[in-house]
Amino acid sequence: MPKQFDLLVFDWDGTLMDSAGVIAFSIQAASRDVGLPAPSDSAARHIIGLGLNEAIAALFPELPRSGYAALVERYRHYYLAQDTEIPLFAGAAETIAVLHEEGFLLAVATGKGRRGLDRVFEQTGLGQYFHASRCADECFSKPHPCMLLEIMDELGVPQSKTLMIGDTSHDLQMANNAGVSAVGVCYGAHPRESLLALSPLVCADDFGELSRWLNDHA
C-alpha cells in the first residue's frame, strides 16, 4: 500500500516516553515547596505538553511572573532526580527505528525545552532517527501551530502528507490549527474523551495499537 503520509511528527512526553506521572508529581511537589496549593492529578496532567511558563500560567493565573523562576527551579529539581529512570513505552524504540528504515520523515514537537529534548535523545539513542524537532523554548507553545508549520517548512512536506501523533488535546488542537491530520494516544496524559472531541483519525489504547495502525494506515 502506498504511504498516506510522508512526515510523522511525534509528541514526546506521554507519547513516546512514559513520563506523564513523573511530570505531574514534579509539578505538585514543586508547588508545595514554594507555598502554592498542589494541583490535582487531573489538573497537573492537563498542562503536560505546554511550555513551562504557559503551564504555570494555566495552573496559577494569579501568580506574578516574578514567582515563576522559583517554581521552575523546584520542578526541575524533582523531574531531573528521576529523569534517567523514565522508560520509553514498550515498543517505541523499535517502532521509530522501523519507521525510519521504511523511509518516513520523522520529527518531534514537544513541550520540553531544547536541553531536555537533546538529553533524552542521547539517553534513549533515538535522536539519530529524527530529521527535525521543535521545542517549547523555540516556538510558540502548543496548541499554536508554529512547531508544525516550521517542521513542515524545514522538511518541505505539505499539510496533506503530515501526521501529528500525541497524547494531549494540546497536540491534537495544534494539528487542527496547522491543518494536518492527527492520531491520538489514550495511554498518556489526557483522557480519551478529550482527544476524541478533536476528531483524530484514531485513538490508540497502547503503543502496540499505535504501531500497528501506523504500519497499516500511515
The pLDDT mean for the chain works out to 96
Rounded to an integer, the average pLDDT of 144-173 is 98
User: What are 179-197's pLDDT values in tens digits?
Assistant: 999 999 999 999 999 999 9
Q: Answer whether residue 1 shows pLDDT above 60.
A: no
pTM listed for this prediction = 0.95
Q: What top-level class would CATH report for the domain 7-19+89-217?
A: alpha beta
Rounded to an integer, the average pLDDT of 204-214 is 97
Burial code (b: 16+ CB inside 10 Å, e: under 16) for 189-215 equals bbeeebbeebebebbbeebeebbebbe
Q: Do the Cβ atoms of 27 and 47 come closer than 8 Å? A: yes
Parse the chain into domains and list their residue ranges: 7-19+89-217, 20-84
At residue 184, φ and ψ (nearest 5 deg) are -100, 150
Q: Answer whether residue 57 shows pLDDT above 80.
A: yes
User: What are 46-56's pLDDT values in tens digits?
Assistant: 999 999 999 99
11 counts as catalytic: yes
> Percentage of residues in the chain with pLDDT exceeding 70?
99
Q: Do the Cβ atoms of 211 and 95 come closer than 8 Å? A: yes
Given the residues 6, 13, 137, 153, select the one marked as catalytic.
Answer: 13
13 counts as catalytic: yes
Residue 3 has a pLDDT of 82
Residue position matching grid coordinates 521545542: 135
> Percentage of residues in the chain with pLDDT exceeding 90?
98
Given the residues 11, 18, 167, 171, select the one marked as catalytic.
Answer: 11
Residue 154 has a pLDDT of 98
For residue 133, the tally of other CB atoms under 10 A from its CB is: 23
The architecture CATH gives domain 20-84: Orthogonal Bundle (1.10)
